[in-house]
Amino acid sequence: MAAAAAAASTSRLLLLRHHHDAAADGSNRQKQQQQQLRYSSKPSSLALLGLRLSPPAGALLPDRVTPFSYEEDGESDDHPREECGLVGVVGDPDAASLCYLGLQKLQHRGEEGAGIVAVGGDGKLKSVTGLGLVADVFGDPARLASLPGPAAIGHVRYSTAGAAASLRNVQPFLAGYRFGQVAVAHNGNLVNYQALRNKLEARGSIFNTSSDTEVILHLIATSLSRPLLSRICDACERLAGAYSLLFLTADKMFAVRDPHGFRPLVLGRRRNGAVAFASETCALDLIEATYEREVEPGEVVVVDRRDMSVSSACLVPHRPRRSCVFEHIYFALPNSVVFSHAVHERRTAFGRALAEESPAPGADVVIPVPDSGFYAALGFARASGLEFQQGLIRWHYSGRSFIQPTQAIRDLAVKLKLAPVHGVIRGKSVVVVDDSLVRGTTSSKIVRLLRDAGAREVHMRIASPPVVGSCLYGIDTPSEGELISNRMDLEGVRREIGSDSLAFLSLGKLHSIYGAEAEGYCDACFSRNYPVLPTLPEPVVELEE
């Protein structure tokens, strides 16, 4: 996550911690930090002290970072965005091709850029990265063919709305240091990034990016521990926040998960003995790797490609598990197993609990907001004894509606993206089930769309609690001032989106679904109970040379 976002996260948590309002005088710095919440970039240029760099050819750093915002024209689907997806394969001669396929399956976790680093037969690491979808980046067969070898790691990154796209933003990062080459792919966000960077810069490190991944590489390069496993553990012991990491060297692959287990990372094995890692099991399924287990929170799994031995080390002493509950609510594909639970079963349970807690008496039909609301709506319909229908059809090829010249044309473009099935809607009292409600813009458009299609009543049901806090751990969410449930009470939100009724799954009911496991999930976006607070950077005194 970008330094600006980290600074903004620090500001938000300070406001929560001290419960004070900024006065007009002396509040400029806080306002600037809060404004920086709207910024995010993750450049991959690695101008590191002690590291030889291997940036993509022709890559240019953006000269500025533009504000983050969900497009106000209806382009956004009004959901938070996962930052990244990871895939790694070791022990297969087609490792890069398998990574390519796995990244295709994880495309929903990142659409801005994709990259693969592979180990060749000569033991040297080679990188191919590019902007766009996985199929676009590797559309030329020669690019994938240039990555032969028995081990590879891959990465997809989500576009930060409004941020300038650059090849330097695309991972995996490949660098060299005095003991050889190392590549890294990272999913997460470090909440002590700025404090670590300040200390490293004070000791002479030169930074060329605002990427928190660059800090990790600095810490590894400057560690006095031996061997590389000890360097990685030494570096990660100094990190705070969310990180799932894949490292690749000439002879080993390392899979690392932060001690709280915020972001998912799983391990599987192919029939030929090859070991695979991925952010979700759906990627393992595609490459015919059998899911074995999670990489445990605080664990480092090491695979030596020379003899395919697999070993495990404890990264840090045990800390309370805090896996991201939004992976089950929205981010992960329904055919994945995440945090040892089948995602589609979790979502069906959310919908069933929502129906028990907030039924819609007199309704005729239940429809989902496609695509992520499907299983929650199915659970709601089953528990309510109501008919389940696909009343909205999502068109996936509508392009970017903000380029249209007038608001009237943009409104028509929104209808192209979501189209009602009139025979399901007309004259009916409709229950619409969505997985979450963030800003409310999409929900209000859906309500109008259904009314225009002839719905007699529209009852909105949300299969998660109200989102009132921004994420600090690797998810793009709007600032708290943009979160509709943070600005309005339930009735205010209902009036704003225009539905006849509105209900959210309560936080207590969500916890009851998980039972004793509930304490092992991060729900800060619903509760503002942040398990890891940002570390305040020490003041930096700049001296003129």
Structure tokens at 198: 């300040």
Number of Cβ atoms within 10 Å of the Cβ of 80: 19
Sign of CA dihedral 14, 19, 20, 21: positive
Question: Is 84 labeled as catalytic in the residue annotation?
Answer: yes
d(CA 340, CA 333) in angstroms, rounded, equals 14
Do residues 327 and 311 make contact, with C-beta atoms less than 8 angstroms apart?
no
Return the ∠ at Cα 225 (arms to 534 and 254), rounded to 5°.
Answer: 70
Eight-class DSSP state of 518: G
Structure tokens at 313: 């080390």
- HSE, CB side, 13 Å, CA atoms: give it for residue 453: 25
Number of Cβ atoms within 10 Å of the Cβ of 203: 10
Task: Establish whether 471 is an annotated binding residue.
Answer: yes
Task: Establish whether 522 is an annotated binding residue.
Answer: yes
The verdict on whether omega for the bond into residue 531 sits within 30 degrees of 0, i.e. cis, is no
Task: Establish whether 282 is an annotated binding residue.
Answer: no
d(CA 330, CA 477) in angstroms, rounded, equals 13
Task: Establish whether 314 is an annotated binding residue.
Answer: no
Helices 228-236 and 212-222, packing angle to 10 deg = 130
Catalytic pick among 84, 233, 236, 282: 84
- HSE, CB side, 13 Å, CA atoms: give it for residue 15: 20
Task: Establish whether 99 is an annotated binding residue.
Answer: no
SS3 476: strand
Binding-site residues sit at 324, 372, 434-435, 471, 522, 525
Would you list which residues are annotated within the binding site for [4Fe-4S] cluster?
A: 324, 471, 522, 525
Active-site residue numbers? 84
Which residues define the annotated binding site for Mg(2+)?
A: 372, 434-435
